A = this chain, B = another copy of it.
Amino acid sequence: MRTPDELRDLVERYLEELALTPELGGLEEAVRYGIVGGKRIRAVICLAVGEAVGAEPERLLPAAAEPERLLPAAAALELVQAFSLVHDDLPALDDDAERRGRPSVWAAYGEDVAILAGDALLAEAFRLALSYPNSGVARELAQATLGMIGGQYLDVKGETADLARLHRLKTGALFSASVACALAAANVPEREQAPWRAFGDELGLLFQIVDDILDGDGYAAAEGAERARELSDDAAARAQARLADVDGDTSVLEEIVAGLAARTS
């Protein structure tokens, strides 16, 4: 089993070496700029789930046994995440001129190029997801993307009264997909997926609450910092409990959950 850091390095190298569609031409520079940076949490989760289900010897899934086989799915998740950030940063949406300490894509390349670069990131994500023999990875990705867009719409329109629904869409959908895409890529049978999917749902909630605690908004603003910390501890405990329900070596995923709960940036 590889450590989370080793899995992250794998993703990072894969994204750096990823060949984009030649037809994008000069747009490629802005697309690559939009991929740089970030902790690759979603990709790491995807690879770790792949290792966990592949590590069960009696299942004999060669596709899942090597994390390399999960890399297109993991990278596709990061491209969808990058697509959403590139578009959300636009002046008409969140109007963020900075992202991860440097100009956001529109600030660096102009709004026109940023709109097209975001579109290209989404289409490239599907191209990668469609490199599997079955279409399950791409299906999970489409569903998650539509959820994210619905969540961003609620946010843009200020319909933030139902914070749980907003976050389930805006953040949770892609975390759940990080798990679901690994299951699809590894051909885990439907009947064995329930505890894994429950795990994915808890992960998204955990990530969001900790995010809000670090930023002092969302759950932390609505419930107070102390109560938000209780909520994140509960989500982490439920995520660990779900891992206890699945077959396979989940030690790396347990470490990821603990890391998400304890993260300070």
Residue from B118, B124, B146 within 8 A of A127 (CB atoms): B146
Please name all residues of chain B whose beta carbon is closer than 8 Å to the beta carbon of A113 when the two chains form the complex: 153, 156
Q: Is A87 part of the binding interface, using a Cβ–Cβ cutoff of 8 Å?
A: yes
Q: What 1/0 mask marks residues of chain A from 104 to 147 whose CB sits below 8 Å from any chain B CB?
A: 00000011110110111011101100101011001100110111
Please name all residues of chain B whose beta carbon is closer than 8 Å to the beta carbon of A139 when the two chains form the complex: 127, 130
Q: Is A169 part of the binding interface, using a Cβ–Cβ cutoff of 8 Å?
A: yes
Task: Report the interface size for chain A: residues with CB under 8 A from the other chain.
Answer: 47
Please name all residues of chain B whose beta carbon is closer than 8 Å to the beta carbon of A145 when the two chains form the complex: 119, 123
Among A93, A142, A151, max chain B CB count under 10 A is at A142
**CB within 8 Å of B: which A69-121 residues:** 83, 87, 90, 92-93, 110-113, 115-116, 118-120
Q: Is A160 part of the binding interface, using a Cβ–Cβ cutoff of 8 Å?
A: no
Q: A92-B110, A124-B146 are in contact. Are A152 and B116 (CB under 8 A)?
A: yes
Minimum C-beta distance from A161 to chain B (A): 13
Q: Is A149 part of the binding interface, using a Cβ–Cβ cutoff of 8 Å?
A: yes
Residue from B23, B119, B132, B150 within 8 A of A87 (CB atoms): B119
Residue pair B122, A153 in contact (C-beta under 8 Å): no
Residue from B21, B24, B130, B146 within 8 A of A23 (CB atoms): B146
Q: Is A10 part of the binding interface, using a Cβ–Cβ cutoff of 8 Å?
A: no
Residue from B23, B138, B154, B173 within 8 A of A25 (CB atoms): B154
Minimum C-beta distance from A32 to chain B (A): 14
Please name all residues of chain B whose beta carbon is closer than 8 Å to the beta carbon of A120 when the two chains form the complex: 146, 149-150
Minimum C-beta distance from A163 to chain B (A): 15
Query: A139 to B126, alpha carbons, bound, how many Å?
Result: 8
Q: What 1/0 mask marks residues of chain A from 149 to 173 whose CB sits below 8 Å from any chain B CB?
A: 1111110110100000000010001
A sample of 8 more A-B contacts (CB under 8 A), given A87-B116, A119-B122, A120-B146, is A23-B169, A26-B153, A27-B153, A116-B156, A122-B122, A130-B139, A134-B135, A138-B138
Interface residues of A (CB under 8 A from B): 21, 23-27, 83, 87, 90, 92-93, 110-113, 115-116, 118-120, 122-124, 126-127, 130, 132, 134-135, 138-139, 142-143, 145-147, 149-154, 156-157, 159, 169, 173
What would 17 A/B residue contacts be, using CB atoms closer than 8 Å? A23-B147, A23-B149, A23-B151, A24-B153, A25-B150, A25-B153, A87-B119, A92-B110, A92-B111, A93-B115, A93-B116, A116-B156, A118-B119, A119-B149, A124-B146, A126-B138, A135-B135
